[in-house]
Chains A and B, each alone.
Chain A
Amino acid sequence: MNFSNLIKIAYEAIMRNKTRSLLTMLGVIIGISSVIAMVSLGQSSTQNINQEISSMGTNLIMVMRANQRRGGVSMGNSNSQTLTIKDCEAIKKRCKNVDLVSPSVSTSGQLVRGNENWPSTLQGGNTDFLKIRKYDIARGTMFTEKDIKEYKKVCLVGETIIENLFADGSDPIGQEIRIGSTPFKIIGVLESKGENQMGQDQDDIVIAPYSTIMKRLLATQYIHMIYCSALNEDLCDIAVEEIEAVLRTNHRLQDDAENDFNVRTQKEMLTMMNSVTGFLTILLAAIASISLFVGGIGIMNIMYVTVTERTKEIGLRTAIGARGKDIMYQFLLESSMLSLVGGLIGIIFGLLISYLATKLLGWPFIISTASVFLSFIVCAATGIFFGWYPAKKAANLDPITALRYE
């Protein structure tokens, strides 16, 4: 008995029961397509988040003020006054793996222009701020060192501000807006960046010299954050160590004292996000696998019923010269064909679902070759595993009893 004959026999047996074969396959189709879709969607969302975070700069390092104790009283993270311009200068000067440094202060307030007003965030930085935070200037210019030194009331505005304050379509550059009672002159417009992965509008921002904000709006000598960029992504960890060392010296912290600042990198954010999405992907895939398992049991059930129903056929085949293993291979092949064809359709379906979903969500569409490959193997294994017992049963039927079976 050669293999092509066997395939022909199994194929004909499947085609004799089209509806039943299709329904049997449906279990596998749903199982496989959900596994593929879930894994693919999970990876797409991971990729999506990665892209968003990378768009903020993967070499970004944020130094934030942390809890400070004054005479035994904890000041909390957001009220502590630990970071100063001197820290910025020290980092700039002494950290070899740090490229750019910018202090950051921010305040929120109501922007006013004529009859229009809009609440927004006023962000203070130095001349490197845009480069570190990956903002680009669409029109106009950035403020200069001279502007910073002279506490000039100039600013750059994001797309959202223009939409709300300059709805009349007039050119914002050169015009004045008030923040609280302080007038600022717009010298540049930022390129739109859209929303970040947290859903925050990154275009709803006004950027001004940090010195102006510190002196004229906040009346403080302390800064809120320091943005740094490492020379490249791989040097982030070394850069963080350098920054910590410099700041500890600057702040005269004892060896056993806790840092009064926190250093965060985008890489950490990335790892954290990935661990969350990775867990979700595994969870979804596990749930989907259950449906695949149920599909496999469906195949086994049908094959089992089939053996009983086709007892006479098995008897006949034995009588005309089929060996036990011929019968077994036939049934194994039938179940394998069902699961493989079902799997193939399932893979196509799954990819289609994830393609449509990613299109709809605006995520990148990722075909996970590993999951496609794996589900194909699972399919073959399902067919053989769940087909084995019924096939064995068929092969062991006594031909005489099988022939007389009614």
Chain B
Amino acid sequence: MSVIIKIDNLKRYFQVGSETVRALKGVSFEINQGEFVSIMGTSGSGKSTMLNILGCLDKPTDGEYFIDGIAVSKLNKDELAHVRNRKIGFVFQSYNLLPRTSAVEQVELPLLYNKEISSKERRERAFLALEQVGLKDRMWHMPNQMSGGQQQRVAIARAIVNDPVILLADEATGNLDTRTSYEIMSLFQKLHSEGKSIVFVTHEPDIAVFTNRTIMLRDGRVVKDVPVDTQSAKEALDALPPSEDYN
């Protein structure tokens, strides 16, 4: 199994006024191809900072971060953008879809910033990605015509459309109810079984049980890095009592 993410003694300090805030105080771990990792921690544990650095939105103060063999610390802004475009897929807590834009066009968005892809291929890959997240019949729906779960599926399709090395999810179930959360986790498990590598940032332990490995952060340090006794989200979903929200 090849290593896709390698973090070595990573530090991130912020200068707030005259004080230096140490958000990450030397974090090291590796993530292999095909892993489904959850990063957990309470607020202030440094998991958001961790995610920003993993997502190449931010650079470490010190230490090394390799993604797919690329040393991120040495890249400039434009090169970081390139890495984000080709190697990373983001899923956000609040979906971050564009208003008044159809699902297909949302999903096409990352490919618009990749000039090697023709408009024809762009459309085909967007269709394929939407099919993978089970929205084949919602291709042309606008965000306001879709439920939260469906919107998050569009966001996931957008994250996988560029065939990223790693899928980064930031509290991706945070805005969803339990049933929909399980549905989304089931989708992530499906994508994982298809070979995707996923990093899932969450503070909810009952979501983390659907992943294969948990890295626990506290006060900017890794306090626990253990394999998880993975549960099936599909089974959890089936075990839920029938929904009372509809009918």
Contact = CB atoms under 8 A, between A and B. Distances in A.
Interface string A209-252: 00000000000000000000000000000000000000000000
Interface stretch (B16-24, B25-33, B98-106, B228-236): B98-106
B55, B113, B158, most chain A CB atoms within 10 A: B113
A306 to B, nearest CB: 13
B86 A315 contact: no
A321 B96 contact: no
B123 interface: no
Nearest to B97: A316
Contact of A320 (B77, B100, B101, B158): B158
A95 B110 CA distance: 85
B96 A315 contact: yes
B92 A16 contact: no
B84 interface: yes
B113 A326 contact: yes
B84 A321 contact: yes
Interface string B93-133: 00010111100010001101111000000000000000000
B52 interface: yes
B121 to A, nearest CB: 13
Contacts of B57: 318-319, 399-400, 403
Interface string A304-325: 0000000011011111111111
B78 interface: yes
B58 A16 contact: no
Nearest to B158: A320
A318 B81 contact: yes
Interface string B124-154: 0000000000000000000000000000000
Contacts of A400: 52, 57-58
B66 to A, nearest CB: 19
Nearest to A312: B96
B86 to A, nearest CB: 7
Interface in A1-27: 1-2, 5, 8-9, 12, 16-17
A325 B77 CA distance: 11
Contacts of A9: 112
Contacts of B100: 16-17
B77 A317 contact: no
Interface residues of A, number: 25
Nearest to B159: A320
A321 B96 CA distance: 15
B111 to A, nearest CB: 9
Contacts of B77: 323-324
A230 B23 CA distance: 95
B65 to A, nearest CB: 16
B85 interface: yes
B80 to A, nearest CB: 9
B82 interface: yes
B99 A16 contact: yes
A12 B115 contact: no
Interface in B49-84: 52, 55, 57-58, 77-78, 81-82, 84
B105 A321 contact: no
B81 A323 contact: yes
Given A16-B98, A315-B96, A399-B57, A320 B105 contact: no
A406 to B, nearest CB: 9
B101 A319 contact: no
A320 B52 contact: no
A320 B84 contact: yes
Contacts of B210: none
B113 A319 contact: no
B96 A403 contact: yes
Q: Nearest 3 A-B pairs (CB), nearest first?
A: A321-B85, A320-B110, A323-B81
